[in-house]
Amino acid sequence: MSKMIRTALGVIEGFVQNQVEKYLGIPFAEPPVGALRFKTAVAKQPWDGILQAKGFRKDPIQLNLIRDFSHYSEDCLYLNIWVPAERDEKLPVMVWIPGGAYANGGAGCDVPEGPAMYDGTRIAADAQAVVVSVSYRLNAFGFLNLHRYAEELDDHVGMKDIIEALRWVRQNIAAFGGDPENVTLFGESAGGGAISALLFCDEAKPYFDKAIIESNCWESFYDEEMEDMVCRKYLEFCGLTTEEAADIRKLSYEQLGEAHKKLDQYMFNDYFLRCSFAPVIDGVFLREFPTLSAMEQQDKAVLVGSNHDEGYFQVLAYQIGPDRTERLRDVLMQLVPEEDRKRLLSAYHFPAWEALGDLLTDVMYTFPKIRFAEHMSRAGKAPVYVYRYDYVTPFQKKYHMKACHVSELLALFPVVTSPFGDWGRGDEEQLEKIGRRMRRYFGAFARSGKPEAEGLTEWLPYDEKDRHTLVIAEEDRLEKDPEGEVRRLYEGIDRVEI
C-alpha cells in the first residue's frame, strides 16, 4: 500500500509493509558530482511533483575486490526512513550511521528492491522509533582533506555529509511522525567512530541529543600531521603533486581505485590496522580525540559497547597465521613507549594468532571504550551506559571467530546479506531473541536517555566505583567491572596510538 508524506521540500511517496511505513532513497543533498565533487554537500532543493521513495539507491563509490564500480554511485547522498504504521504520539528518532572503515559500506543497495545490509524495519517496530539510515561519501571522496593544497577542494566532506543529513532530519522528520527534538545517533565500527567524533563537533551539536556507539575503533582518527602524510601519499599514488591536487577531480574511478589499493598496502605494511582514510581531529571542526577528552562540554547521554573478541575479525579476514603475528604486533605497537610496550605485550601469548586477536580487541576496542566511559562518568555532565556483546553463533564457533567485530549486527537488524548474514544461518531464532532485547534497550534509550523497559535486565549507568556493564548473551546480565583485567593491564595509559 502506498503512503504519501508532504515535507517542506515536496511530496514523498513510500509504502507500507508489515505494519511499517518505508520511504527509501530520499535525497538529502544535491548530487555531489561535477563541480560539487570533493566539495561540501549542498542542501537538497525543493522539487515539483511526487518523489518516489520505494527503492534503495546505490551505495557510495568504493573499492570492492569482487564488484566493479557499476554497483556503486557517486550520486550517493540519500537516506531511508522506517516508521511504525500505528502510532499515537511523536516518536523518538534513531539515525543509523553505517560503518566500513570510512572506505566501504553505505545505507543503500545495488538493486532498488534490496535486501540492503541495514533494514530498519524491525528496529522501528521493536524500538517504537522512526529509524533513518544515511549514506555519506567514503574513502578519497569523503575523507581526504586537500583544501591546504587546493582552495577549490573542501575538507571533512564525509563528516559534513552526515551533518547535512541531520539538518534534513531536523527540518523534515516531523512530517513522518518523528520528534526533531529527540534524535539519537547510532552506528557501528566507523559509523560509531564518526558519531564519537561528532560529540566534539560544534557544527553537529544542535542536531542530535544522544548517541549509541557500537564497536568503535577508537584510535582510527588522524591528527593533522598524519593526515598530511596520507594526502601526500595518495596524491603520489594518483601521479599528482600537491600543486596538482585540484586535478584529482578529473581522475576516473579506476585511477582513484588504483591509488586506493596502493595506499591500503602502504598503510598495512607501515601501520597495520590504521584506516587508510579517517576523520581528522584538527581542533576546529573536530575539537578533541574522544578518548582523551575531559568531557567538559560533552553533555549528551551515551550508550557505548564492544564485542568480546572484536579483533578476531581482522586476524581472520587477513588470514594472519603465527608466521606473521609478531611482525604485525610490532607494527601495531610501534608508537607505544618501549617500557609500556614490553609490559603490555608480556600479557599476550605470541606467536599464536589468537594472541594478535586478543591484542587487537584490547588496544582498538575494549581499553579505549573503558577510558571513554571513565572520562564521561567522571565529568558527570550526562550518563554513560556500557555493554559487552558475548554471543557466538554456531557458524562463528566452527570457524573460531568468537564474538568478533560485526557480531552484534547479526542480532540487532538482523543482517541477512552476504557475507555477514552467513554467520547467523541456522541460528535465526536465538539471534531474534537477543536482537529484540537489543532493539528495546536501544529504543528505550532513544526515548528517554535510559535503556529501561519492562521485562528487560536492569541496566545501570557506568561509574568508576561499580563499573556496571551489561553483558549481552543468550541471557543478559549486569556485571560489575567484567573487563577489569584489561583495565588494570592498561592502567596509567590514556591512549595507544596505532
Of the candidates 92, 86, 113, the one whose C-alpha atom is nearest the C-alpha of residue 3 is: 86
pLDDT for residue 272 is more than 90: no
Q: What pLDDT, on the 0 to 100 scale, is given for residue 274?
A: 87
Distance CA 337, CA 333 (A): 9
The pLDDT tens digits for 317-368 are: 989 988 899 999 999 999 899 999 999 999 999 999 999 999 999 999 999 9
Q: How much is the average pLDDT of 26-55?
A: 97
73, 135, 189, 276: the active-site residue: 189
DSSP 384-430: EEEEEE----HHHHHTT--S-TTHHHHHHS---STTGGGGGTT-HHH
Query: In sequence order, which ranges of 106-146 are alpha helices (DSSP H)?
Result: 121-127, 139-143
User: Which single residue is written with the C-alpha cell 579517517?
Assistant: 278
CATH code of the region 2-489: 3.40.50.1820
Is pTM beyond 0.85? Reply is: yes
**Mean pLDDT, to the nearest integer, of 50-63?**
98
* Torsion on CA atoms 316, 322, 323, 325, rounded to nearest 10: 70
The percentage of the chain sitting over the pLDDT mark of 90, rounded to a whole number, equals: 93
Strands (DSSP E) contained in 77-121 are: 78-84, 91-97
Cα torsion at 95, 101, 273, 249 (round to 10°)?
Answer: -140
What mean pLDDT is predicted for residues 252-275? 93
pLDDT value at 140 more than 90: yes
At 83, give phi and psi (nearest 5°): -135, 130
Q: pLDDT category, 10, cuts 50, 70, 90?
A: very high
User: What gap in Å lies between CA 166 and CA 204, rounded to an integer?
Assistant: 8
Clarify whether 135 is annotated catalytic: no
What is the spatial distance between Cα 272 and Cα 368, in angstroms, rounded to a whole number?
18
**pLDDT 10s digits, 383-396:** 999 999 999 999 99
Residue 496 has what pLDDT? 87
**pLDDT level of residue 498 (50, 70, 90 thresholds):** confident
Average the pLDDT over 169-198 and give the result: 98
The residue ranges of every structural domain in the chain are 2-489
Per-residue model confidence as pLDDT tens digits over 88-101: 899 999 999 999 99
What percent of the chain lies above the pLDDT cut of 70? Answer: 100
Contact between 406 and 187 (Cβ < 8 Å): no
Give the amino acid at 250: K
- Angle subtended at Cα 314 by Cα 373 and Cα 78, rounded to the nearest 5 degrees: 75
Residue carrying C-alpha cell 535465526: 428
Averaged confidence pLDDT in the chain = 96
pLDDT digits (tens, 9 = 90+) for 281-330: 999 999 999 999 999 999 999 999 999 999 999 999 989 988 899 999 99
Q: pLDDT at position 55, please? A: 98
| Cβ–Cβ < 8 Å for 87, 3 | no
Question: What mean pLDDT do residues 206-216 have?
Answer: 98
